[in-house]
Structure 1
Amino acid sequence: MFDDLTHRVVQAPMAGTSTPELAVAVCEAGGLGFVALGALDAEGARKAIRAVRRGTDRAFGVNLFCHRPARRDPAQEAAWIDTLRPVFQRFGASPPMTLSEIYPSFRGNDAMLSVLLAERPAIVGCHFGLPTPEQIAALKGAGCKLWATATSVAEGQAIRDAGFDVIVAQGYEAGGHRGIFDPDSPDSRLDHLALVRALMPLGLPVVAAGAIMDRAAARAAMDAGAVAVQCGTAFLRAPEAATPPAHRAALSGGRTVMTRAISGRPARCLANDFTAIDDTGAADYPVAYDIGKALHAAAMAQGTAGYGAFWAGTGAAASIARPAADTVRAISP
């Protein structure tokens, strides 16, 4: 699957900011584009896949969230609403009275599986965990190559044992949601180079991810054993991305924080007003994201962008505003 690439650069699937247009641009430049399906329903996923196919005849991937169902705790959720209530009030708004599990996991999502089996994307990637054995068998039967994110050797072993084809080694410096299977378990916080080296003995191809912003970093990852590099933050300023203007502007600040406050799962975000909130009592993912999005909307209605989920890796300040194809070629090792 990597021999088909002119440039061994994989565009990270970034829910909310990556677009079919971005995936097309990366594919046409000789890299590997991805479409994020985690925040879409089945029909939205079908439309996104077909939009990419209209733009390119090259192989591309799709990515899904395979998190455990939210652990609903009414008392914890009420307490988290009360924690954020004063912030809402500063913007003349009230928080939602109850919270919803806004992003269903792919696990058990028969409608999404049906779309994938009908559309047969070349690659199906998974984040936060793995699909059910039945889903894995169905996707492999449809000819899809399977990728999954690992943040540790134990997760890499689970990916290998489940019959997957590629491991994405997500270093702690990577932007967006940490792909850790159990967010309440200890996190070794390995950077992508150390993680690639640790995963190599498992025998699967490893793609390195985590603040890879230039050719030197890509070459270092390949020297460590990676077969390709996955970049997300490097594409956030591309015209093909759906990155909001405030998010683009904030990238130059560069400082990032790992927080659960916004969504309920650890995620690396550009430091802002939201990341300054103590995340100790955050509701579980994706329930906390429901109120997180509501707070961002309330703040934006008053002209304040400091409560956005401005995901980015530690290399944010090095991001460059340029077409995605130029970024592919600039990073290609």
Structure 2
Amino acid sequence: MTDWTRTPFARTLGLRYPIVQGPFGGGISRIGLTAAVSDAGGLGSFGAHHLEPEELDVTVGLLHAATNHPFAVNLWVPRPGQPDELDRTTYDTYSDALRPWFERAGMSPPVYRHAASPDFDAQVEVVLARRPAVFSFVFGIPSPEVLAECRRRGIRTIGAATHLDEGIALRDAGVDAVVAAGYEAGGHRPAFLRPASDSVATGPLTAQLSAVLEIPVIAAGGIADGRGIAAALVLGADAVQIGTAFLATDQSGAPDAHKQALRSPRSRYTALTRAFSGRLARGIRNDFLDAFEFADVPAYPQQNWMTAPLKAAAAERDDAELLALWSGQGAALLTDRRDATELFEFLVEDTDHILGATPRPTTAWESVA
């Protein structure tokens, strides 16, 4: 049997398997899911970009208590010129378009409220102090000082690239590994040097990055079983990152309506949209996405703040037509394994079968021949 598990990435972090659980933003990451994946031998991840520094400190402490194995904490790097708060002018300009949707959710349109992003520098200070095994990030590259301090403290760093240009920039900055965030992936396109619409598909991006970079490449996007893992490894990946399949498990924080959508035939139909957050992201089509697919919406994070009360109300009501149903194009491949540990075991066993010595079944046309 081919030993696909002993890649440099897995050995460096002390993982039994080169499988990374994708981090989920927007408050749907859960400590139980991160710990389950890490305990199973992969790298569990926790999306923490929305947490205030004090909340982040508590969360990383709970993660350390929940597992003795490596895990990753993921943050979003602020973009130059990114708004720091929701301004009144933006709210007044775009709020009328959301009014019918708030009414549909059974709530009055919220009055203008102040909203602001957590302090990224303060979040990073928490990560440095708490020392998770991995600090992962999207939408850019932290400062050279932060990356140097991570190295000094033994924290491995992983950045995300949607294009070869971004992968080279991450390598040149001294990042330890690069996620090849393919066009097929669910959630936000973490582009930062090229337009998000320029994102390259997982296969070509993985092959390009692995051919040029001297650091591990982690393939992400459209991977949901052993076939996807095997293909990524053949293309040069050192590991894979799987998000949508773990998002559908019992341990994730996604609303039930979201999980049901991921496991239904409607998951075959995804689209890239700015409707929910102001940033291009892939999700399952629903009424809200379709209505705003070509609409002019505020940039991130303005639109994200404006739709936040609506998404919260939709989650409370389990209304799949108003939720951000983030999903990759591999959702149609999901099995009925709803427990994260059981899913992880399936991924390992399926990859063993694909890359192992077990003969494949004879097909009908071969037997006739």
Task: Please indicate, yes or no, whether the TM-score normalized by the shorter chain is above 0.5.
Answer: yes
| 2:6 aligned partner | none
Give the residue type in structure 2 aligned to 1:5: L
**Which whole-Å CA distance do the structure 1 matches of 2:221 and 2:144 have between them?**
29
Residue from 299, 318, 331 that aligns with 1:284: 299
Structure 1's 113 and 92: CA in aligned 2 closer, same or farther, altered over 3 A?
A: closer
| Contact 1:66–1:127 (8 Å) recurs in 2 | yes
| 1:11 aligned partner | 21
| 2:344 aligned partner | 328
5+ residue gaps, structure 2, are 1-8, 352-369
32-41 or 134-143, larger mean C-alpha shift:
134-143
Instruction: Indicate whether 1:224 and 2:235 are aligned.
Output: yes
Describe how 1:12-31 pairs up with structure 2 within 5 A.
Answer: 12-15=22-25, 16-31=27-42
Describe how 1:178-327 pairs up with structure 2 within 5 A.
Answer: 178-181=189-192, 185=195, 187-200=197-210, 201-251=212-262, 252=264, 253-254=266-267, 255-279=269-293, 280-299=295-314, 304-319=319-334, 320-327=336-343
Residue from 84, 87, 93 that aligns with 2:98: 84
| 1:70 aligned partner | 82
Shift of 1:137: 2.3
Describe how 1:133-152 pairs up with structure 2 within 5 A.
Answer: 133-152=144-163
* TM-score, normalised by the number of residues in structure 2: 0.83
Instruction: Indicate whether 1:161 and 2:176 are aligned.
Output: no
Give the residue type in structure 2 aligned to 1:67: P
Structure 1's 100 and 130: CA in aligned 2 closer, same or farther, altered over 3 A?
A: farther
Paired residue total = 329
Structure 1's 330 and 157: CA in aligned 2 closer, same or farther, altered over 3 A?
A: same
Give the residue type in structure 2 aligned to 1:307: L
Give the residue type in structure 2 aligned to 1:310: L
* CA distances 1:105-153 after superposition (whole Å, capped 9, x unpaired): 62xx2x2222112111111001111112222222222221110000001
| 2:62 aligned partner | 51
5+ residue gaps, structure 1, are none
**What is the percent sequence identity of the aligned residues?**
38
DSSP-derived class of the 1:268 partner: strand
* CA distances 1:257-281 after superposition (whole Å, capped 9, x unpaired): 1110100101111111221123542
DSSP-derived class of the 2:288 partner: coil
Give the residue type in structure 2 aligned to 1:87: W
DSSP-derived class of the 1:208 partner: strand
- Larger-Rg structure: 2
Structure 1's 116 and 151: CA in aligned 2 closer, same or farther, altered over 3 A?
A: same
| 2:137 aligned partner | 126
DSSP-derived class of the 1:276 partner: helix
Instruction: Indicate whether 1:174 and 2:174 are aligned.
Output: no
| Contact 1:66–1:105 (8 Å) recurs in 2 | no
Shift of 1:91: 4.3
**Which whole-Å CA distance do the structure 2 matches of 1:302 and 1:206 have between them?**
40
Shift of 1:60: 1.2
Higher RCO structure (Cα 8 Å, ≥6 apart): 1
254-263 or 233-242, larger mean C-alpha shift:
233-242
Shift of 1:6: 1.6
| Contact 2:202–2:220 (8 Å) recurs in 1 | yes
Indicate the RMSD between aligned Cα atoms, in angstroms: 2.2
Structure 1's 299 and 131: CA in aligned 2 closer, same or farther, altered over 3 A?
A: same
313-322 or 282-291, larger mean C-alpha shift:
313-322
* TM-score, normalised by the number of residues in structure 1: 0.91
**Which whole-Å CA distance do the structure 1 matches of 2:114 and 2:135 have between them?**
27
| Contact 1:176–1:267 (8 Å) recurs in 2 | yes
Shift of 1:242: 1.4
* CA distances 1:45-72 after superposition (whole Å, capped 9, x unpaired): 2222222221221111111010315347
